[in-house]
A and B are shown apart, each in its own frame.
Chain A
């Protein structure tokens, strides 16, 4: 069974600070996705990273896929209260089965004004 561990589990910071969320596994993934979820809603896809070492930027968010495709990080610069939410990483198995997406345990981010 593939497992994805996210850290930290909870993060509370002041507006304007920077932060990094980590997603780690001992398994290799063909790609890794990051989702953001607000209370009472379903997760919404932010980005998909595919190539080992790949870096993608989405405004103030920077996503990186590890060289070995086993881990990923999400870095937010100058966090804003609107960034508050649950951030989930999810790894896509190389096996190609329908059961292939494994979710991390989530990081609850709170940005205080």
Chain B
């Protein structure tokens, strides 16, 4: 079965600082990978998805970017964080009929 490792679990960053969140996948090869952001107690907003190395699709214009340097590695970045970037970020990979597998999330607070 697939496992997603996501870190860090929590992060407090000042406005204007850079960001790098990393996600790695085990137990599958060539997965589709996703970054979601979730407001407290609400649904998930898709930010980026990737179907392969170096292939990134952006869903919403924003201050963030994503990269996939290796098959099972997905990175979410920002050059300068904004207060509005605060949120709960989730990495996910496809599991076919068995649904998506999610990481445990990163709680980002921009101060």
Residues of A participating in the B interface, judged by any CB pair closer than 8 Å: 4, 6, 31, 33, 35, 40-45, 48, 86, 88, 90, 98-99, 101, 103-106, 108
Known contacts A40-B105, A42-B103, A45-B99: A99-B41 contact under CB 8 Å: no
- Give bound CA distance, A27 to B21, whole Å: 34
Known contacts A42-B90, A48-B98, A108-B41: A99-B46 contact under CB 8 Å: yes
- The interface residues of chain B lying within 8 Å CB-to-CB of A33 are 99-100
* Cβ–Cβ contact A106 & B51, under 8 A: no
- The interface residues of chain B lying within 8 Å CB-to-CB of A98 are 32, 49, 51, 57, 94
Residues of B participating in the A interface, judged by any CB pair closer than 8 Å: 4, 6, 9, 32, 36, 41-44, 46, 49, 51, 57, 59, 90, 92, 94-95, 97-105, 107
26 contacts between A and B (CB under 8 A): A4-B43, A6-B43, A31-B97, A40-B105, A41-B105, A42-B102, A42-B105, A43-B44, A43-B102, A45-B95, A45-B100, A48-B98, A90-B99, A90-B100, A98-B51, A99-B46, A99-B49, A101-B46, A101-B100, A103-B36, A103-B44, A104-B43, A106-B41, A106-B42, A106-B43, A108-B41
Q: Give the residue of A4, A44, A105 whose beta carbon is less than 8 angstroms from that of B102.
A: A44
- The interface residues of chain B lying within 8 Å CB-to-CB of A106 are 41-43
Task: Give B92's nearest chain A residue, CB to CB.
Answer: A42
